[in-house]
Amino acid sequence: MLNLRRTLFAAGAAVALGLTTMPAVAADIPPPDTVVTSPNVTHVLNIPKPAPIAATINTDMAFQGDYAYVGNYGGFSIYDIRNPKKATPVSSVVCPGSQMDVTVYGNLLFSAVDSSRSDDSCNSTALSADHKEAWEGIRIFDISDKAAPKYIKSVETNCGSHTLTLVPGKGWDKKKNVYIYVQSYNPNATFPDCQPPHDKLSIVKVPLKDPTAAAVAATPVVFPDGGNETQPGLLLPTSGCHDITVYAEKDIAAGACMGDGVLFDISDRLNPKVTARTTDPNFAFWHSATFSNDARKVIFTDELGGGGAATCNEATGPNRGADAIYDISRGKLVFKSYFKIPRYQADSENCVAHNGSLIPVKGKDIMVQAWYMGGVSIWDFTNSAAPREIGYFERGPRADNSGGGVWSAYYYNGYIYASDFHQGLEVIKINDRLTNGADRVHADQLNVQTQQSYREWGWGHDD
């Protein structure tokens, strides 16, 4: 596919100096469906969605060993990535239910279901949540055979599971159990299993020796006095959390909770405690969170427009639909700046801050992130007050104006993997002096919402 370079990389501008912030003009919008990258980024491979789930959109990802796991509204797929340049699908499981976000641990895969179904099976059909018999929650699969995963257990949770976060046990418990923090929201008085005010998490305890015994073990209320419900411009009033990222080795978590940004103490896995909370008049929907490796900063994303709107344009501006960078000082969240991609998108392109992960560069805070039709951005927030983009990958507007784009973009063992709604799995490589040190860092597993320090990964040859 033709590989153009966006004109925002003006003549003579070095990548190391970051992108310019000149306003975009019509000539800057790439031709429809055309791949464009910064000079330091290469599009390595595109793998179309496997036929069994080709009609439904890709969602979140997880990684383990030589495999990538890609969620999809129709189920999930497993890819062999031992050679990223020749990555191939291994299997697909057809098991519908939005969003089917996935996380993996050992031989287990956990998936989130936030659309009420007629039952918990993979043959279920949609059924309104006002029916008591409707089901939503999490599904557990045995993935010991990558070519033939087996569905082994479901756990129903109040208001379903929009997203989920795996939390390892502590001390003696670490080898016995894992915990799944289930994020859900948007209750309704007509829903028997999703009553207002909700404002809570469901915590599922999974015995590793008998995962079929998994069950809800606690339902702590995050907002006992109510969350942010009246701020002008909110997408929805706070009634729970959209996504939680845990940093288990430090016993902390960051919650993106609709109208609120939250820090937790998770030293008691079944009883997380809110230690700090903030709001932002520029944020419409607190969507996801990422800690810096030293846990002295946290990035929150604002999913302005719910992911379906064109917000990467001049009219929206740089401070909405963006990332917010906070320093964590004495346990409090201290706002430092916003980051938003400096490349304007066409009005037909849904674009907003979405899922990303750190690139493990010693002494630097660098992140790769999805922006729907804005593609993939690689950006440096080492200076919390002055973040800057250092590379990107994207496609031009879809020729049919149907929208879509990249749901998640994560760095794993030398490559960036991007889960695209329609295009499938993208494999991307950045070659830049700021990030090349990460090539020496190896992980055995990556669940982005379950952060591990780079030291746990292994620093590589320059340790």
Residue 462: per-residue pLDDT? 41
**Confidence at 455, pLDDT banded by 50, 70, 90:** confident
Residue 318: per-residue pLDDT? 96
Please, what is the average pLDDT of the chain?
93
The answer to whether residue 463 is domain-embedded is no
Residue 459: per-residue pLDDT? 54
Residue 389: per-residue pLDDT? 98
pLDDT tens digits, 60-95: 999 999 999 999 999 999 999 999 999 999 999 999
The answer to whether residue 367 is domain-embedded is yes
Residue 172 dihedral angles phi and psi, to the nearest 5°: -60, -25
The answer to whether residue 64 is domain-embedded is yes
Token pair recorded at residue 458:
């292994």
Sign of CA dihedral 141, 78, 453, 293: negative
- Short-list 48, 76, 30, 91, CA closest to 427: 48
pLDDT tens digits, 372-401: 999 999 999 999 999 999 999 999 999 998
Check: CB of residue 43 under 8 Å from CB of residue 393. yes
pLDDT tens digits, 265-284: 999 999 999 999 999 999 99
Check: CB of residue 165 under 8 Å from CB of residue 245. yes
Question: In Å, how far are 153, 210, 331, 385 from 217, measured between CA atoms?
Answer: 16, 15, 28, 41
Check: CB of residue 176 under 8 Å from CB of residue 275. no
Give the length of the chain. 463
Give the pLDDT mean for 227-239.
97
CATH code (residue 429)? 2.130.10.10
Distance (Å, whole) CA 371 – CA 363: 26
**Confidence at 27, pLDDT banded by 50, 70, 90:** low
pLDDT tens digits, 151-173: 999 999 999 999 999 999 999 99
Distance (Å, whole) CA 1 – CA 442: 30
pLDDT tens digits, 252-269: 999 999 999 999 999 999
Please state the domain count of the chain: 1
The answer to whether residue 245 is domain-embedded is yes
The answer to whether residue 462 is domain-embedded is no
Give the pLDDT mean for 87-116.
97
Kindly state the greatest CA–CA separation across the chain: 64
Residue 457: per-residue pLDDT? 74
Give the pLDDT mean for 128-153.
98
pLDDT tens digits, 36-48: 999 999 999 999 9
Question: In Å, how far are 56, 83, 164, 306 from 126, measured between CA atoms?
Answer: 15, 38, 21, 22
Check: CB of residue 303 under 8 Å from CB of residue 354. yes
Is a pLDDT exceeding 70 seen at residue 59? yes
SS (H, E, C) the chain: CCEECCCCCCCCCCHHHCCCCCCCCHHHCCCCCCEEECCCEEEEEEECCCHHHCCCCEEEEEEECCEEEEEECCEEEEEECCCHHHCEEEEEEECCCCEEEEEEECCEEEEEEEEEECCCCCCCCECCCCCCCCEEEEEEEECCCCCCCEEEEEEECCCCCCEEEEEECCHHHCCCEEEEEEECCCCCCCCCCCCCCCCECEEEEEECCCHHHCEEEECCECCCCCCCCCCCCCCCCCCCCCEEEEEHHHCEEEEEEECEEEEEECCCCCCCEEEEEECCCCCCCEEEEEECCCCCEEEEEECHHHHCCECCCCCCCCCCCCEEEEEEECCEEEEEEEECCCCCCCCCCCECCCEEEEECCCCCCEEEEECECCCEEEEECCCCCCCEEEEEEEECCCCCCCCCCEEEEEEECCEEEEEECCCEEEEEEECCCCCHHHHHCCCCEECCCECCCHHHHCCCCCC
pLDDT tens digits, 165-196: 999 999 999 999 999 999 999 999 999 999 99
Check: CB of residue 35 under 8 Å from CB of residue 4. yes
The answer to whether residue 178 is domain-embedded is yes
Check: CB of residue 296 under 8 Å from CB of residue 328. yes
Residue 45 dihedral angles phi and psi, to the nearest 5°: -165, 145
Residue 351: per-residue pLDDT? 98
Token pair recorded at residue 326:
């906070």
Check: CB of residue 138 under 8 Å from CB of residue 154. yes
- Tell me the residue range of the domain where 391 lies: 3-457
The answer to whether residue 14 is domain-embedded is yes
Give the pLDDT mean for 284-289.
98
pLDDT tens digits, 201-224: 999 999 999 999 999 999 999 999
Is a pLDDT exceeding 70 seen at residue 16? no
The answer to whether residue 349 is domain-embedded is yes
Question: CA angle, 450 as apex, 449 and 453 as ends, to 5°?
Answer: 120
